[in-house]
């Protein structure tokens, strides 16, 4: 029936096809009984392509393996939830302990490298940029690399333009006033902050050696979407991205099984930070 949502009934073989597709494309595990997730995320693509259902989308993908559609389907299945200063106690630990240590250790070179490894729409990287500016690193050579699998979220991140509801989440009013300008109904981030961050697509299952070395890596709230094999490989790779004395931060409530094989856990101001073993 024409008025029914096109994704209403996903056939079992189509469900399996989509699970495998999203896993092979992005490493994301979609469990059984997540029909609603496929439905809500893929229905817009079904409509844009003028198809009648998710089953038709599967048939098209299976028949053509069209790269653009393959990618769009996988990107649609990423969860991009993020906000400014998420897990604020981590930013406090960075401000009060990690940055003072780095300031001391890197005082000769005055160069710092950061990586936001699952950056989504950029709030994580820009929050860090604000902390660095507040802490007086304006005249240091500072770069923040921010990567994500999804080119769509990175496009938004690069633009540095946020809706009212997004700046109302986690961003202190003083920071909003200082680092954002009204642009119609939205808020545009300060150009100098935007220049501190480089956004690039990167799949966390790839070799990370190409990215160089970092003093601090955020890899927060992404490992939950992967299976143990992908997580282990990723942790091993992450270890190789840190300068001596550098740190890895996971999401505030994340526990990564097997991380102790590659990292030493330290408690800093009540926050877990991980140093390479």
Closest to ligand SAM by CB, 44 vs 100, is: 44
Phi then psi dihedrals of residue 40, to 5 deg: -70, -35
> Per-residue string for binding with ligand SAM, 151-190, x by CB under 6 A?
--x-------------------------------------
Q: Quick check: helix, strand or coil at residue 151?
A: helix
- Is residue 149 part of the contact set for ligand SAM (CB under 6 A)? yes
Give the position of tokens 């009540």: 270
> Per-residue string for binding with ligand SAM, 229-268, x by CB under 6 A?
----------------------x-----------------
CA atoms within 13 A on the CB side of 268: 24
Q: How far is the CB of 212 from ligand SAM (least distance, A)?
A: 17
CB 258 within 8 A of CB 250: no
Q: How far is the CB of 116 from ligand SAM (least distance, A)?
A: 7
Closest to ligand SAM by CB, 53 vs 211, is: 211
Instruction: Candidates 59, 70, 80, 276: give the one binding ligand SAM (CB under 6 A).
Output: 80
Q: How far is the CB of 19 from ligand SAM (least distance, A)?
A: 15
Alpha carbon distance 113, 244 (integer Å): 12
> Per-residue string for binding with ligand SAM, 3-32, x by CB under 6 A?
-----------------------xxx----
Instruction: Candidates 19, 43, 90, 221: give the one binding ligand SAM (CB under 6 A).
Output: 221
Alpha carbon distance 219, 78 (integer Å): 15
In 28-46, which positions are buried (b, 16+ CB within 10 angstroms) versus exposed (e)? bebeeeebebbbebbbebb
Alpha carbon distance 59, 75 (integer Å): 18
Closest to ligand SAM by CB, 55 vs 120, is: 120
Nearest of 181, 196, 187, 183 to residue 127 by alpha carbon: 196
Q: How far is the CB of 77 from ligand SAM (least distance, A)?
A: 9
Q: Which H or E run includes 127? A: helix 123-134
Stretch that binds ligand SAM, among 53-61, 180-188, 202-210, 253-261 (CB under 6 A): 202-210
Q: How far is the CB of 8 from ligand SAM (least distance, A)?
A: 26
Strand order in the sheet with 180-183: 161-162, 186-189, 180-183
Please report, as ranges, the residues that interact with ligand SAM according to CB under 6 A: 26-28, 78-82, 86, 118, 120, 124, 148-150, 153, 203-205, 220-222, 225, 251
């Amino acid at each position: 029936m024409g008025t029914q949502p096109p994704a209403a009934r996903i056939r079992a073989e189509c469900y399996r096809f989509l699970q495998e597709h999203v896993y092979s494309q992005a490493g994301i595990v979609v469990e059984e009984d997540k029909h609603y997730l496929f439905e809500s995320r893929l229905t817009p693509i079904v409509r844009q392509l003028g198809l009648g259902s998710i089953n038709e989308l599967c048939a098209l993908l299976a028949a053509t393996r069209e790269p653009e559609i393959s990618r769009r389907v996988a990107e649609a299945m990423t969860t991009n939830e993020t906000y400014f200063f998420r897990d604020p106690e981590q930013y406090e630990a960075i401000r009060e302990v990690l940055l003072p240590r780095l300031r001391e250790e890197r005082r000769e070179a005055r160069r710092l490298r950061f990586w936001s490894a699952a950056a989504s729409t950029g709030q994580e990287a820009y929050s860090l940029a604000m902390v660095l500016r507040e802490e007086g690193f304006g005249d240091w050579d500072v770069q923040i690399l921010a990567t994500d699998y999804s080119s769509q979220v990175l496009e938004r991140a690069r633009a540095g333009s946020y809706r009212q509801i997004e700046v109302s989440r986690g961003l202190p009013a003083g920071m909003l006033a200082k680092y954002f300008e009204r642009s119609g109904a939205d808020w545009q981030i300060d150009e100098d902050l935007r220049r501190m961050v480089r956004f690039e697509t990167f799949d966390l299952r790839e070799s990370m050696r190409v990215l160089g070395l970092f003093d601090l890596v955020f890899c927060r709230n992404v490992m939950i979407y992967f299976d143990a094999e992908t997580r282990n490989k990723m942790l091993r790779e992450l270890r190789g991205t840190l300068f001596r004395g550098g740190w890895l931060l996971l999401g505030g409530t994340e526990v990564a099984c097997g991380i102790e094989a590659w990292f030493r856990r330290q408690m800093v101001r009540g926050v877990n930070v991980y140093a390479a073993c």
